[in-house]
Chain A
């Protein structure tokens, strides 16, 4: 296998307690810490491990987002990606547009494998990977928690509601990374210094011939209702009692 493309999305850091803007138009992002989507970090870690096993030669990190997403691509380069591509857009884009943009990159790069996070922790859509596979006309394996590669076939253990499912797909394919696939490495200090010198190309949707889809419209954003205060119970008997009182079990 030669090339692996990994999707890297810039999202609000998972530690940040987000606030909804007073006018309900979205989440307040001013001065908020941004990071690589955690599932994308797992996707990249898997690509790095494949390369370290000698099963791939180049890893390309791709992000679609604002100019500042270069920060997240630099992180990907410091983790070990060989080069990076930013598809610059200042608009919020929906999964279908992201999939089209990735497809355009795929057409020029001709990767043997694309790994993305199973979902981004901002909109939790979990659609980009599957849409990309459909547009590309290649197999997909989502929610991957174990990946082995044998020539042109990948074996994937998937986390599904009923438990674990093992499937095989022909490469090239799109794989989406689940939480238990691996534990991403610390970025090493010397690698951070080296990342500055790695290639990071910036392009945009127009150059790639991708138009912005408008199938989705955000109507209103609001914070979840504050949860009612809970009660503490001593043991299971008391718990069952409390549930009965509330009419939740009979």
Chain B
């Protein structure tokens, strides 16, 4: 097994880190204080990200992306994760890989402009009544001559406030399977502004200030059959073949953020004096640091392992679940302990810790909750035993 980094990987890490440190981090305080990433600022930073070749680096080379392998992409995501989500995701966009399923005119209209940063996508599965149980979605798309007519409500949809189109999942039929009636799901590409489709403000969120989630409402929204992404009734097949790695994105960005929190905690433990000595000399503090470093390294190895397997096309759902689960739970622990080591100062907005601590919370919920990841891992273990 080879664990060392290639020259290329080292350089990609450095360039991404330099960009994050010099271009994005200086704006963290403003975004946190105002809760807004100003559109002018976003546009300026996005232009710089495009110029640096960092924008859409997750996409394959043949569609204009950087063509990184999964391990290298994870290393890049990790560096981006060091700063706030609004800044790294809205300025250094990573279009959904599912757009690679675009064919013919869809490529010109959605895929290529997204890679170039001219258009922004968002992806809508979740509904008020269908979260973990995505297949329970009530949004329907009914075929009507050459069109589909869409009705329903989606919520928690990230980036819909500034996206140009949505990758929408809707039920297009039902079939009866061994475990009862199962909905057939289809993916659609729907432009903002299509009649019958409105985007409303979502909820205020404890994590990731400056970035928004929205509510999407469809009332007899008519789209042509050419809006179908992939095949009719095969929305989840398209999603499964392209979205597998999004859990690695959550894992990798969580690891980057945890690294930053641990570095702050280490420095503080070495500098802060109480009872006439460095607090790091108290075992109660130093053992925390050791445990944080240990968990971080374990999460990183699990994530790189899953990424490597993904490249070898041998990654299982369980591998992805383990990486996401471990990295997000590790971040929760590291962020909390880093704050604890800082004492009262850790809670103050003057340091990035309280933000990292708040931001850590969402990572155990989106892209599949911790419970759902444990469900996936345990099912894979029990299935061979008839479970």
Contact = CB atoms under 8 A, between A and B. Distances in A.
A8 interface: no
B298 to A, nearest CB: 19
Contacts of A186: 15, 18-19, 52
B175 interface: no
Interface in A67-111: 70-71, 74-75, 78
A210 B68 CA distance: 41
A190 interface: yes
Nearest to B7: A74
Q: Which of A78, A186, A189, A196 has the most CB of B within 10 A?
A: A189
Q: Which of B10, B11, B53, B66 has the most CB of A within 10 A?
A: B11
A193 B52 contact: no
A189 B18 contact: no
Contacts of B350: none
A78 B11 CA distance: 8
Contacts of B54: 189
A195 B18 CA distance: 19
B52 A188 contact: yes
A193 B66 contact: yes
Contacts of A125: none
Given A188-B15, A192-B12, A193-B66, A71 B7 contact: yes
Interface string B52-74: 11100100000000110000000
Interface magnitude class on chain A: 10 to 19
B52 A74 contact: no
Interface string A107-139: 000000000000000000000000000000000
Given A186-B18, A186-B19, A192 B52 contact: no
B15 A189 contact: yes
A72 B15 CA distance: 14
A243 interface: no
A196 B8 contact: yes
B14 interface: yes
A190 B68 CA distance: 10
A70 B57 contact: no
A187 B14 contact: yes
A191 interface: yes
B51 interface: yes
Given A188-B52, A188-B53, A189-B66, A195 B15 contact: no
Interface in A192-234: 192-193, 195-196
A189 B52 contact: yes
Nearest to B66: A189
Contacts of A78: 11
Interface in A171-199: 186-193, 195-196
Q: Which secondary structure dominates chain A's binding surface? A: helix
A188 B18 CA distance: 11
Interface in B224-248: none
Given A71-B7, A71-B10, A192 B15 contact: yes
Nearest to A196: B8
A90 B182 CA distance: 67
Contact of B66 (A70, A75, A190): A190
Nearest to B76: A189
Q: Which of A71, A78, A192 has the most CB of B within 10 A?
A: A192
A96 B19 CA distance: 37
Contacts of B51: 188
Interface string B1-40: 0000001101110110011000000000000000000000
Contacts of A190: 53, 66
Nearest to A188: B53
A28 to B, nearest CB: 19
Contact of B57 (A189, A191, A195, A196): A189
A195 B6 CA distance: 13
Given A186-B15, A186-B19, A191 B53 contact: yes
A190 B61 CA distance: 10
A193 B8 contact: yes
A153 B349 CA distance: 55
Contacts of B66: 189-190, 193
A192 B18 contact: no
A195 B14 CA distance: 15
B52 A195 contact: no
Nearest to A190: B53
B7 A187 contact: no
A70 B11 CA distance: 12
A195 B53 contact: no
Nearest to B55: A189
A45 to B, nearest CB: 13
Contacts of A196: 7-8
A93 B67 CA distance: 40
A113 B11 CA distance: 27
Nearest to B10: A71
A70 B8 CA distance: 12
Contacts of B57: 189
8 closest pairs, A vs B, by CB? A189-B53, A188-B53, A74-B7, A190-B53, A192-B11, A187-B15, A186-B52, A71-B7
Interface of A: 70-71, 74-75, 78, 186-193, 195-196
Given A74-B8, A192-B8, 16 more contacts: A70-B7, A74-B7, A74-B11, A75-B14, A78-B11, A187-B15, A188-B15, A188-B51, A189-B15, A189-B52, A189-B53, A189-B54, A190-B53, A191-B53, A192-B12, A195-B8
10 contacts: A71-B10, A74-B7, A75-B11, A186-B52, A187-B11, A189-B12, A189-B54, A189-B57, A190-B66, A196-B8
